[in-house]
Structure 1
Amino acid sequence: MVKIEIVVFDMAGTTVADDGLVERAFIAAVDAAGEKVGDRDAALRYVNDTMGQSKITVFRHLTGGDEAAARRLNTAFEQAYARSVADGDCAPIDGAAELLGTLRAAGVRTALTTGFSRDTADRILTALGWTDLADLTLVPAEAGRGRPYPDLALTALLRLGGTDVRALATVGDTSTDVLAGRRAGASVAAGVLTGAHDAATLRAAGATHVLDSVRDLEPLILERS
């Protein structure tokens, strides 16, 4: 059994409570940007199904590949989400910050990743007082491609000095998070039930473990580190 050296965490829905913020920001973005995305209910289902992916990628799909429209929607979405964060609608998942602290104290390196832009990620981290919580934070633009591609996890592995992809663990609340972890070669690609997707969806994506919450990850990692 390979020792776990690095744990890559998703943010919204995994370490940061979502509570419908993404859905509300999407609706606000469509209203503000005035872009056509087809049937709104179908578009919202697509947003939920693709939780964890880079948001600009989602908007490219919804606008039929219209890059200018996708960028307008993405900007409006990020602005709406940022307003929610500024209004205090941003809270940690219970036990998440403590877990990252425990892992770092045990010599396990940690990364926080997201499908949001760097600006939005930094707003969330600042609001929570998490700017120094993890060893690394990453957004898709800094890694190449967002999830379900393995770029975020593999970039974290490289930047944090990992010795083997099997020494990597990933954790997220969506099938996209799980698939990205599996594609990166992580020996642990855990799914948690505090966000977008249910246990059946996470298992279908290939989750090695399905946990009630990220706080339940500690024994799994420490027994292998």
Structure 2
Amino acid sequence: MTDSSLNLVVLDMAGTTVADGGLVEQAFSTAAEKLGVEPGSADHAAKLRYVRDTMGESKITVFRALFGAEDLARAANAHFEQAYGELVAGGLITEIPGARAAIERLRSEGRTVVLTTGFARATQDAILAALDWHGLADLTLCPADAGRGRPYPDLVLAALLRTAAVDDVARVAVAGDTAYDMRSGTSAGAGLVAGVLTGAHDEQALRVAGATHVLPSMTELPDALAAYEQS
């Protein structure tokens, strides 16, 4: 009989377990202005729309698409990470209500939990520090740890390889708030790919991208995993 237990849970951060209140857009505007994009201009509006549409994707990849030249993309990314980090340090970030308790429940049930992000390591660590979440999950991963960010499957597969929590990718559960999270999970072959409605994308976008489940919040994920295992 095939083991259907989902003992590895790969969770996105911003929009899924962490509420940042639009800090991504604020930090982008700061970075874009430093590269000569005038706030309020048509160029700024178009670039900001692209940022919104690609929420969940690795940030350096987004900046490569927006600015083209590698040096400009890296400069924009550095300005973005600095601005975002300063906003986080200013206390402008909170957990999704109940997220910490849900993660603790998942681990108490014997599941391995990995927190992933499209941000750089320094920014991820700043978020973890601001929320006092160091040690909350079994592992944290950013794109540089895995090779490529979302929508590629690398973060999910890196979580499997580094934790050795399961022997089959079908026993992995992935949860996120964007289509890029869904595509990453489905590309990896995860058994359950849950979209949550606390972040960037709506139910239709999540389902089109491959969500097997859509939940109001990741706080409902533990019950969704239990139901899946019993089905």
TM range (shorter): over 0.9
Aligned to 1:89: 92
Deviations 1:58-95 (A, max 9, x none): 0000012x000001100000011011101100100011
Confirm whether residue 79 of structure 1 aligns to residue 82 of structure 2.
Answer: yes
Out of 57, 62, 65, the position equivalent to 1:61 is: 65
Confirm or deny: 8 A CA contact 1:35 1:73 kept in the other structure: no
Query: How do 1:102-113 and structure 2 match up within 5 A?
Result: 102-113=105-116
Confirm whether residue 9 of structure 1 aligns to residue 11 of structure 2.
Answer: yes
Confirm whether residue 34 of structure 1 aligns to residue 43 of structure 2.
Answer: no
Confirm or deny: 8 A CA contact 2:37 2:44 kept in the other structure: no
CA distance in 2, matches of 1:25, 1:168: 32
Deviations 1:184-213 (A, max 9, x none): 100111000000001111111110001100
Confirm whether residue 178 of structure 1 aligns to residue 153 of structure 2.
Answer: no
CA distance in 1, matches of 2:16, 2:167: 26
Confirm whether residue 18 of structure 1 aligns to residue 20 of structure 2.
Answer: yes
- Identity over aligned pairs, percent: 55
Aligned to 1:196: 200
Q: What SS does the aligned partner of 2:19 have?
A: coil
CA distance in 2, matches of 1:38, 1:120: 29
Aligned to 1:215: 219
In structure 2, the gaps of 5 or more residues are none
Letter in 2 for 1:121: Q
In structure 1, the gaps of 5 or more residues are none
User: How many residue pairs align between the two structures?
Assistant: 224
Deviations 1:142-201 (A, max 9, x none): 100000000000100111112101000000000000000000100111000000001111
| CA shift for structure 1 position 35 | 5.6
**TM-score (normalizing by structure 2):** 0.94
CA distance in 2, matches of 1:4, 1:25: 36
CA distance in 2, matches of 1:87, 1:154: 34
CA distance in 1, matches of 2:37, 2:158: 34
Confirm whether residue 157 of structure 1 aligns to residue 160 of structure 2.
Answer: yes
Aligned to 1:49: 53
| CA shift for structure 1 position 18 | 2.4
Range 28-37 or range 143-152, more displaced: 28-37
Confirm or deny: 8 A CA contact 2:114 2:140 kept in the other structure: yes
Q: After the TM superposition, list the runs of 4 or more consecutive aligned residues in structure 1 that deviate by more than 6 angstroms.
A: none
Q: What SS does the aligned partner of 1:89 have?
A: coil
Letter in 2 for 1:107: G
Q: What SS does the aligned partner of 2:18 have?
A: coil
Letter in 2 for 1:137: T
Out of 167, 173, 191, the position equivalent to 1:169 is: 173
Confirm whether residue 134 of structure 1 aligns to residue 137 of structure 2.
Answer: yes
